[in-house]
Amino acid sequence: MLEQRLFAYHFLNGGPDPVETALDAYRNTDGGYGHALEPDLRGPVSQPLHIAHALRILDAVGRCGGQRVERVCRYLTSVSTPDGALPAVTPAQRGYPTAPFLPVVDAPPSELLATGPVVGLLHRNEVWHAWLFRATDFCWQAVESLQVSHPYEIRAALTFLDSVPDRPRAQATADRLGRLVRERRLAVLDPADLAAFPVAPGYAPGEHHFPHDYARTPDSLARAWFTDDEMARSLDHLAAEQQEDGGWPIRWRPWAPSTTLEARPMVTIEALRTLRAYGRGVG
């Protein structure tokens, strides 16, 4: 239902109210979100990764503010690590089905993967809350110290850098990350030669990332990492991935049939929005 309402908002002139109503079904009394909003975390309990997903939706429909975000920030404060950042998964997840690549531990560490997108989206919407100060400092330290990374961590860093207020610092840091992505071949620059670009350790076979995965819109800092020809080939590849049923496939490792069914509408909307952002027709 949530993805149906999002599709209507983005492509059928639908309003934001139905999207927010559908999202509210996943909201908990602690201010967080649960109930498999992020399909790889099952069960009712709130988790930071669910928060990141919820904020992306609220940002997309222009509703990332007000009391709903105040409640979110109170939840973030309650689950933060001692350094003020977020773990990917809190121990509350124990006992519920969870993707094997998201371990549940008693004292989970701070993760840029979880903190970067949340901090970036809050800054993008000019949210100011006490939680943001230390979390922003954590993100700067984590991003500026990256020497070896992987695509999902780079994407989390980009969500932070694309919106953090200190633009000169963000630009300089993004330039360095772009060099790292190219040197480490973390983006497939020629989809016709996939073998030349290794899959990151621990990723599923064939789980490549392309320029459009980093630069989802032309105004992203990551757009400068790639030439016009590289971006055009990437978008051609994205368009060609559409399947006979109209949707796009997931590329990460599936671990349960239901999670694949739930994730495909998400990646389909994301693919369509990326193509439209670059002026490609979406029908």
Give domain status of residue 136, yes or no.
Answer: no
Domain total in the chain: 2
DSSP code per residue over 235-253: HHHHHHT--TTS-----S-
Number of Cβ within a 10 Å radius of residue 240: 8
Sequence-distant (6+) residues with CB within 8 A of 256 are 97
**In this structure, are 160 and 280 located in the same domain?**
yes
Q: Which two tokens stand for residue 259?
A: 């999670």
Q: Determine the structural domain holding residue 280 and report its residue range.
A: 146-283
CA distance 234 to 159: 20
Contact 199, 207 (CB under 8 A): yes
Provide the pLDDT for residue 263. Answer: 97
- 69 and 157 both lie in a single domain: no
Global pTM reads: 0.96
pLDDT digits (tens, 9 = 90+) for 157-192: 999 999 999 999 999 999 999 999 999 999 999 999
Boundary-marking domain end, from 55, 84, 105:
105
In a domain, 124, yes or no: no
Position 127 in a domain: no
Does residue 254 lie within any of the structural domains?
yes
Q: Is residue 137 part of a domain?
A: no
If asked whether residues 39 and 158 sit together in one domain, one would say no
Q: For residue 117, tell me if it sits in a domain.
A: no
In b/e form, how buried is each residue of 140-154, taking b as 16+ CB within 10 angstroms? bebbeeeeebbbbbb
- 12, two tokens: 């059928």
Tens digit of each residue's pLDDT (9 = 90 or more) over 11-37: 999 999 999 999 999 999 999 999 999
272, 158: one domain: yes
Q: Do residues 220 and 273 both lie within one domain?
A: yes
